[in-house]
Structure 1
Amino acid sequence: MKSSRSKPRSPEVLTRSPVREGLPFPLGATWDGLGVNFAIFSANATRVELCLFDNEGKREIERIDLPEYTDEVWHGYLPNARPGTVYGYRVHGPYEPDAGHRFNANKLLIDPYAKQLVGELRWGPELFGYKLDSPDKDLSFDDRDSAPLTLKCRVIDPAFTWGNERKPAVGWDRTIIYEMHVKGFTRLNARVPEAERGTFAGLASPAVAQYLRMLGVTSAELLPIHGFIDDSYLVDKGLRNYWGYNSIAFFAPEPRYLHTPNPNEFKEMVNQFHAAGIEVILDVVYNHTAEGNEMGPTLSFKGIDNANYYRLLADNRRFYVNDTGTGNTVNLSHPRVLQMVADSLRYWATEMRVDGFRFDLATILAREPYGFDEGGGFLDSCRQDPVLSSVKLIAEPWDIGPGGYQVGRFPPGWAEWNDRFRDCVRAFWKGDDGTLPDFASRLSGSADLFDKRGRRPWASVNFITAHDGFTLEDLVSYNDKHNEANGEDNRDGHSNNHSWNHGVEGPTDDPQINALRQRQKRNLMATLLLSQGTPMMLAGDEFGHTQHGNNNAYAQDNEITWLAWDKIKPEGRE
């Protein structure tokens, strides 16, 4: 259905910037010392406007048509532009949802290659490409400007002095992973300067690296730090997306984790970790974006080239393939989308110098239209790439799509989260019958899953707990989940946790129960560290951090998830 269009209202032009043809590569906004080249992929657009804003991103001051179109890339060069320039795009083209096209130039769009985000997204009907109150739903067309509510992009100067920094290059056979959250680890940490808590600058505090060294871990795995969005339904309930699995900018660090306006703050953190011999691994979310399904907002990809950036149903391109459970699925079968993901990974591995990646719902990344393929485009691109094949690659080998469970089926060079280890070890120490044979397999490297094609035991990332589920303290203190704080009447989160409260649900003053819980935690942690494979522990488990029975704390940006360093009990300090 084609809807009537109203031409986007242009801003009052204060200056008229000169523009040249520029180059179709590299994609994104690139400062070359003299000016800035802008390049953006869209195969189906008819026109692309570059929109410039004041330094705070609040007032649009100019729109410039990108003058050239080469190999499906729109591009132009602004000789007067400099680092610090704030910009976004308006992309023209057909609004035909039934054909998969959702162009709406009234919506300001984030550059998929943006290296820094400006401002904060505020939810409102202007963010949607259609009229929210129309009986035609997403087939209608909304002509309101979204710029006052949405995020903008900033051109950066990537220059940074690394000094004598060298990557630790920890061998897999010596790797101990520590899963942690940028804010949660530092927000209540008295050894971190108060103004820097909750940020990359806070993690860069020498006390953090010293603690990790003392603990004996080799690799810090950070929950998502790419630019992400707080879901509207969470904001309406007074909550936030704490974990960050809602990406919208795959090259930009999340602004809420920046203490300063400079994204090089992330590099300073990496530099400090590397100086202490600690690797930095990023949890990355390339399987979906924050734009949701056909009823979601138009923030970036949906308005740039919806039909190519997302997997759409073959028999009805108005709707999205939803193998992620979040509303959309990124289309890595398209070469330009695959290029974007590979470019993002290379950027973080080279420019930002991270040491590896953990891929959320990685089965999706390896799924072609015909199903999971270990020789698919994404996995092949990682295997042959000289940069990506040299860093740690860790798969979460499942999703909710067809053939979604693929533990042990990723190709050589990859490690995988092993949920079979988690469930078996929990059940064994809980005393479930018939678990000993499987326990022996998990203890000895899960050879039944990973001993193929020359893969080594390190390919099994063993874990008892992770961000998603009970903490170790809660695993031995609760039989049931207690997720009431999430506002979903305790319906969310898994109910089968293989947990045991040892006689009392939650905290107790009973010394015998507490002693048994402490013994069980040691049993579980010893099994994790002594088993063949790569151990991963959850931050806070070492001293008894509790989420009070919440096993799905994705929206709890508060004392439920923040590590309470000042409340560590004596037994947690042993």
Structure 2
Amino acid sequence: MSDAIAKPGVRVLDRGVEFSVYSENATGMELCLFDVDGRETAHLPMSHERGNLFRLLVDAAKPGQRYGYRAFGRWDPMNGHWFDSAKLLVDPYARQIDSPYSFDPQLAEYGFDTAALVPKSVVVADVGDEPSHVDLPAGGFIYEAGVKSLTRLNRHIPEHIRGTVAALGHPALIQHLQKIGADAIELMPVTAWIDERHLHQLGLTNAWGYNPVTFMAPDPRLCPGGIGELRSVVEALHDAGIAVILDLVFNHTGESDQFGGSLSFRGLDNSTYYRLANDDASVFINDTGCGNTVACDHPMVRQYIVDSLRFFVTQAGVDGFRFDLAPILGRTRAGFDTHAETLKAILTDPVLKDRTMIAEPWDIGPGGYQLGQFPPPFLEWNDRARDDLRRFWRGDDYMTGRLADALSGSSHIFSVGEQHVTRSVNFIAAHDGFPLHDVTAYVHKHNGPNGENNRDGHEENYSWNNGVEGETDNRVVLERRRQDIRALLATLFASRGAIMLKAGDEGGITQYGNNNAYCQDNETTWIDWDAMDEALIAYTGELSALRRQFSVFSETTFFTEDDVSWLRPDGSVMTVEDWEAPGCDCLSIVFSTVERESGDPTRLAVLMNRGQSETVFRLPERDDHGWHSLTGESRGTVEIALAPRSVSFYAEKLSTGG
């Protein structure tokens, strides 16, 4: 057999299909073939070859063939070995599975044959032509969405594709993304996942998908057409100029802890694929909080991760990736390493090096908070900016300086070494936590429906309720909340660096105070399009257009003194005393920028008033063309009366001489 393909996975050849799977500690491996009805048609021993690979060429096999593996070896969990040949195992390199993963206690029962419980891997051939590609622009606008939650209740999408990847390519959805000016859509996991075992007893199901078993195969519930369906949607979005980013989970799998089932990695070679305690191989390291931790520093796991990313790029044209609990990718036995081989392999791979990479820069392990420590050009979710923007608008003391830093791209975090650009992804809300509406409507989390007696989810949300906890028909309270949402949106869109908006926040959608809605696959997380605030959607589009109009927002270098002035409402420069004042409610920011379409040098002013009364701002005067309003929250052109709890934008074209 040729050594040219010394790697796991399947190869479709003219004469048949070559199957290959990796295991360091298995003593034998069996390939099991199935028909479309799930009946086993053959079980074939595989040859054990160099590099800990088990291989077999099956003549006359072709795409569409169902298969799985059975691994033989020691059943010795106390020493990290979980081999049980009664367990049918999904190929880690499976590009398609024939049914969703489903939890069953018998998946964890030694000696119980699980062929009837486990999805079958499906042979899928490569797509020949190279897919298109769209870059996320610097300072781009990312729209984070779950496939089902975004499309399930959209009446403009045909019912038979609502809730699936195919719905993302429908004109109604694409037109909405264009209306709000999104540069990219970031999809929460579309790869196949399994429900956490405690959810079955509660009658709940996983709504987010952050519990994968294998890393390539799309989930049949979300993507019944497999990688071809994803590719078609990516092409439709590309035609509209919208990039596609996939949220992927390489940090843990749904096999969970010692009480979880054997579905793939555990049965193939538990001690290779998972990180186990140094002094007790029966203990799974749990730096993820999900029961296990993938050993991302193992060379074969590293190759598997890179191959998974390459698969989505070459077969579907995906433009970038967001990595859940990304410090796991950089963990070694010694802890997190900025220069870890796996991070390096991702950034230097020739297929991946032009794609957007985004890190969620924390996990729960030792030294797990690594904001600002990922190697460039990784972008990073910036939760400090999120919290500071919320706290400023909540009215917390001593927040003006922190607000300014967040608006400037958080240079104190990202100016590491010789780096002169921000890699911040600024956001106010994401799938994990309160949506934007609930930030202004709930002081406390209300996670009772999750079945954990409200113990789950973050305790501190830096939120407020405008006088009434939760939903209300009080018009005064509703108007205050609407004004606060507009102010929060404007602040986000005025920040330097990439920005991210959670789907539904542009329309003021609520989760009824649930800040950990991972198990609410229902109206709690499904976006009610009929309830979306159309005026708020239009305002989001206006903010996005402003962001595109002026270069100051897309540039990612850190500000110099010539780029920006920080002013008091009376137009004078902020002093140290002003910055350190506990209750500073107002701030005027004047940027030197360029209007993109005309190329004209321009001054752009962003005025912020978090107070409870109208405040008069004075803009600096020059003998140029004068200031003009870009939004409608204020009155005047030099002396400007700014409404309470609002943000306003002004521009002044500068003379170019001659």
TM-score (norm 1): 0.91
How big is each residue's C-alpha offset from its partner over 1:491-534, in whole Å with a ceiling of 9 and x where there is no partner? 11111000000100112222222221111111111111111111
How big is each residue's C-alpha offset from its partner over 1:526-563, in whole Å with a ceiling of 9 and x where there is no partner? 11111111110000001111111111000011111011
Is 1:239 matched up with 2:208?
A: no
**Given the alignment, which residue of 524, 532, 535 partners 2:499?**
535
Note if contact 1:22-1:75 (Cα within 8 Å) is conserved in structure 2: no
**CA distance change for structure 1 residues 215 and 454 in 2, over 3 Å: closer, same or farther?**
farther
**Given the alignment, which residue of 12, 15, 26 partners 1:34?**
15
Q: Which moved more, 1:309-318 or 1:509-518?
A: 509-518
The residue number in structure 2 matching 1:196 is: 161
**CA distance change for structure 1 residues 356 and 108 in 2, over 3 Å: closer, same or farther?**
same
Is 1:220 matched up with 2:185?
A: yes
Q: CA deviation at 1:124?
A: 3.1
Note if contact 1:457-1:532 (Cα within 8 Å) is conserved in structure 2: no
Q: Does the residue aligned with 1:256 lie in a helix, a strand or coil?
A: coil
Note if contact 1:22-1:38 (Cα within 8 Å) is conserved in structure 2: no
Q: CA deviation at 1:458?
A: 4.3
Q: Does the residue aligned with 2:231 lie in a helix, a strand or coil?
A: helix
Note if contact 2:210-2:249 (Cα within 8 Å) is conserved in structure 1: yes
**Given the alignment, which residue of 413, 433, 438 partners 1:469?**
433
Note if contact 2:7-2:53 (Cα within 8 Å) is conserved in structure 1: no
Aligned equivalents of 1:536, 1:446: Cα separation in 2: 15
Q: CA deviation at 1:32?
A: 2.4
> Larger C-alpha radius of gyration, 1 or 2?
2
Note if contact 2:411-2:422 (Cα within 8 Å) is conserved in structure 1: no
**CA distance change for structure 1 residues 111 and 22 in 2, over 3 Å: closer, same or farther?**
farther
How big is each residue's C-alpha offset from its partner over 1:359-417, in whole Å with a ceiling of 9 and x where there is no partner? 11111111110011111111111232222221111111111100011111111211100
Note if contact 1:323-1:399 (Cα within 8 Å) is conserved in structure 2: yes
Q: CA deviation at 1:60?
A: 1.3
Aligned equivalents of 2:277, 2:494: Cα separation in 1: 47
Q: Any residues of structure 2 matched to 1:478-517 within 5 Å, and which?
A: 478-517=442-481
Structure 1: which 5+ residue stretches go unaligned? 1-19, 131-141
**Given the alignment, which residue of 24, 27, 35 partners 1:46?**
27
Q: Does the residue aligned with 2:377 lie in a helix, a strand or coil?
A: coil
The residue number in structure 2 matching 1:547 is: 511
Q: Any residues of structure 2 matched to 1:30-429 within 5 Å, and which?
A: 30-56=11-37, 58-128=38-108, 130=109, 142-159=110-127, 166-173=132-139, 175-260=140-225, 262-429=226-393
**Given the alignment, which residue of 421, 424, 427 partners 1:460?**
424
Aligned equivalents of 1:200, 1:33: Cα separation in 2: 32
Q: CA deviation at 1:227?
A: 1.2
Q: Any residues of structure 2 matched to 1:439-458 within 5 Å, and which?
A: 439-455=403-419, 457-458=421-422
**CA distance change for structure 1 residues 50 and 307 in 2, over 3 Å: closer, same or farther?**
same
Structural RMSD (CA) = 1.6
Aligned equivalents of 1:170, 1:456: Cα separation in 2: 19
Q: Does the residue aligned with 1:89 lie in a helix, a strand or coil?
A: strand
Aligned equivalents of 1:100, 1:415: Cα separation in 2: 36
How big is each residue's C-alpha offset from its partner over 1:252-284, in whole Å with a ceiling of 9 and x where there is no partner? 111111244x43111111111111110000111
Aligned equivalents of 1:309, 1:438: Cα separation in 2: 42
How big is each residue's C-alpha offset from its partner over 1:66-120, in whole Å with a ceiling of 9 and x where there is no partner? 1242211111111210111000000001111122111000000010000001123
Q: CA deviation at 1:21?
A: 8.7
Q: Which moved more, 1:377-386 or 1:470-479?
A: 377-386
Structure 2: which 5+ residue stretches go unaligned? 539-658
Note if contact 2:103-2:195 (Cα within 8 Å) is conserved in structure 1: no
Q: CA deviation at 1:454?
A: 4.6
TM-score (norm 2): 0.80
Aligned equivalents of 1:307, 1:423: Cα separation in 2: 39
Paired amino acid for 1:517: R
Aligned equivalents of 1:235, 1:208: Cα separation in 2: 32
Paired amino acid for 1:170: L
Aligned equivalents of 1:307, 1:573: Cα separation in 2: 50
Paired amino acid for 1:443: L
Note if contact 1:89-1:111 (Cα within 8 Å) is conserved in structure 2: yes
How many pairs were matched up? Answer: 538
Paired amino acid for 1:222: L
